[in-house]
Amino acid sequence: MMNTKLSYKYRGSLAVLIASLLLTGTNAGAQKKLGISDDVVKVGLLLDLSGVYADIAGKGTATAVQMAIDDFGGKVLGKKIEMVFADHNNKADIAASKAREWFDTAKVDALLDVAGSATALSALEVAKLKNKIVIFNGPGTQRITNDLCTPVSVHYVYDTYSLANVTAKAMVKNGGDTWYFLSADWAFGAALQQNASEVVKEAGGKVLGASKHPSNAPDFSSYLLQAQASGAKVIGLANSGADTVNAIKGAQEFGLMRSGKQKLAGLLMFINDIHALGLQNAQGLLLSEAFYWDMNNETRAWSRRYFEKTKGMPNMIQAGAYSSTMHYLKAIQASGTDDTATVMAKMKATPINDFFAKNGRIREDGRMVHDMYLFEVKKPSESKTPWDYYNLVGTVPADQAFMPLSKSDCSLVKK
């Protein structure tokens, strides 16, 4: 018969051994989550390489992301960083199909941009289903961080609320209290018109009407005639890319701006648009941006490097794509893993301080908040060098530029 003391001692030792084995197993399980899945960090970009957004959210975005990868050293945690990109042809079904293919078979870890709002929303659903990080620099619809917010998505550069909030509020304050909209007839245009309308009304102005046009509209004459007939002091352009450029050219041909009775408000414009229009046509336009290459020494230094590769100065999407890529890679480095939840938590916990944003942060709804800027396009006589296009009118702090969480419909926001 076993000695009672020995029996208790044996049982105690056995318990310790079992606990040790369980702890080892738990640590091993936790350890498996660390490191890089598939021994490579692969990022994907779904861009517009041939359509209306090609100049503002096409190959230039891929160039900016590759610059970030190269500047990071091409590896993270000792594993290679790879980038793939494709043209979604501005079709939501193609964007969703390509995102699904990349996540399922190409082992893509994250989408670091999807150009265009409709295509972005379709890719967002896939990323949510596959539990993969998706960062949006190019699309504008506010729904990304409002009713369609997810734990895996970040909206980085701008949105329809911030654009309308900065530009429309300034226009109404300066006497432009009646508006007529020319809006792109898809998700982005509808959201931008709605946000701008709300800002105009809250500021004491009135919306007199709107016309919707298809993507890549060949002729804006009929829409501009309706806007002119409305008598509105401001014609708000709730579109982007080539459509915005063509609408402004049409307005110049109609003499709308020369009359002095009506002004154009570019609710989403990029430096590429001003370059295409020329200062003679674009002078005096008010617009909001998240970035301008000639703001300070940091923005100039990075932008000149970008210019060497593309022969054009970067817009806010391209600068944001570089910044968000670096933020993603730094989060992987700091976390020791590319696990989605772990990396996203680190991204939200880490402030963003670089040439693109100072004291930026990613809120619980996925919105990266940062300062926004109101610019006026220079007269030709004011421009001293190529791409010297903007005068800074004002800076809107991060906590005022974007929609407050108190108004949010995001399910992730605690109220």
Q: Domain spans of the chain? A: 39-158+296-371, 161-294+373-397
pLDDT at 271: 96
pLDDT at 33: 57
Q: What is the pTM of this model?
A: 0.88
* Each residue's pLDDT tens digit, 304-344: 999 999 999 999 999 999 999 999 999 999 999 999 999 99
pLDDT at 320: 98
Q: Is-contact 53 356, C-beta < 8 A? A: no
Q: Determine which helix (DSSP H) or strand (DSSP E) holds 84, and give its type and residue range.
A: strand 79-87
DSSP per-residue string spanning 342-403: HHHHHHHHS-B-SSS-SSBEE-TTSBEE--EEEEEEPPGGG--STT--EEEEEEE-HHHHS-
Give the C-alpha separation, 80 to 338, whole Å: 12
* Each residue's pLDDT tens digit, 146-164: 999 999 999 999 999 999 9
pLDDT below 50 — which residues of the chain? 1-32
pLDDT at 175: 93
The yes/no answer on whether domain 39-158+296-371 falls in CATH 3.40.50.300 is: no
Q: Is-contact 331 120, C-beta < 8 A? A: no
Q: Is-contact 65 112, C-beta < 8 A? A: yes
pLDDT at 188: 84
Give the C-alpha separation, 261 to 271, whole Å: 26
pLDDT at 216: 84
- Under DSSP, is residue 341 helix (H, G, I), strand (E, B) or coil? helix
Comparing 39-158+296-371 with 161-294+373-397, is the CATH topology the same? yes
Q: Which fold has domain 161-294+373-397?
A: Rossmann fold (3.40.50)
Residues 6+ apart with CB under 8 A from 311: none
pLDDT at 3: 47
Residues 6+ apart with CB under 8 A from 117: 139, 140, 141, 186, 187, 188, 191
Residues 6+ apart with CB under 8 A from 206: 177, 178, 179, 200
CA 282 → CA 170, 213, 246, 381, 395, distances in Å?
18, 21, 12, 13, 21
- Under DSSP, is residue 76 helix (H, G, I), strand (E, B) or coil? strand
